[in-house]
Amino acid sequence: MASSRIPTRKNTSVKNMVWAIGLNLAIVIVVAALVAFPREGNKYSQPEVDVADTARRAQPVVGFPLVAPQTPQGFTVRQAKLATGTPVSWTLRYSADAKPLQLVERKEATAGLVVDTLGKASSQGTVELDGVKCERFSGEAGHDALQCAGKGWAFIASGTGGPENVEKLARAAIASLPASAR
């Protein structure tokens, strides 16, 4: 007669606990893999920021025309933010070639705008972009900047993406302003 082992309360409980722990561990591994390695179509990404719509909604709060540049080729919009403190600031953050760029706009150009954006900076002369006079700056850690001003507005475009990317951003910002404000 073949001996068969009759399950006892003691060994059945241990076996059930081992199975439960094993299944829980498998579920945790599957969920972790789905979160850490999503399929191509399900990548987690920040939604595209609609700068024009955000500027349109923010415009009634400020006393100067807000720039709402078309995103230059190769740039990605990261953030559009209006700070209503003193002074009111409109900040747009971008990246180009994995390098950060930003544009900060205020009602008027001040030395504080340059210092707030670049820290220590030295003027590199002036340039005219689409009929607007801009001053070039070189800051710490490879930051390049252009401060441009018009009728009732001023902005500084800056970043570590190289002077050509800073200029692209400044040109796009100027083009977004009404001709009467340039």
Cα 103 to Cα 117: distance, rounded to the nearest angstrom: 9
pLDDT of res. 49: 80
Own/partner pairs, 120-123, CB within 8 angstroms, 24+ separation: 121/145
| DSSP codes of every residue in 84-112 | -SSS-EEEEEEEETTEEEEEEEESS--HH
More confident residue, 118 or 159: 159
| DSSP codes of every residue in 153-166 | EEEEEEESS-HHHH
Average pLDDT over residues 55-68: 88
pLDDT of res. 24: 92
Superfamily of domain 51-181: MucB/RseB, C-terminal domain (3.30.200.100)
pLDDT of res. 46: 59
**pLDDT tens digits, one per residue of 82-127:** 988 888 899 999 988 889 999 999 988 777 778 877 878 888 999 9
Residue 173 in this model has a pLDDT that exceeds 60? yes
Helical spans, DSSP H, in 2-155: 9-36, 51-58, 111-118
Cα 171 to Cα 123: distance, rounded to the nearest angstrom: 19
Cα 75 to Cα 96: distance, rounded to the nearest angstrom: 5
Count of CB atoms situated within 10 Å of the CB of 47: 5
Q: Is the peptide bond before 65 cis (omega within 30 degrees of 0)?
A: no
More confident residue, 115 or 25: 25
The domain limits of the chain are 9-42, 51-181
Instruction: Compute, in degrees rounded to 10, the torsion defined by CA atoms 145, 150, 152, 155.
Output: -10
pLDDT band at 4 (very low <50, low <70, confident <90, very high): low
Looking at every residue in the chain, the average pLDDT score rounds to 84
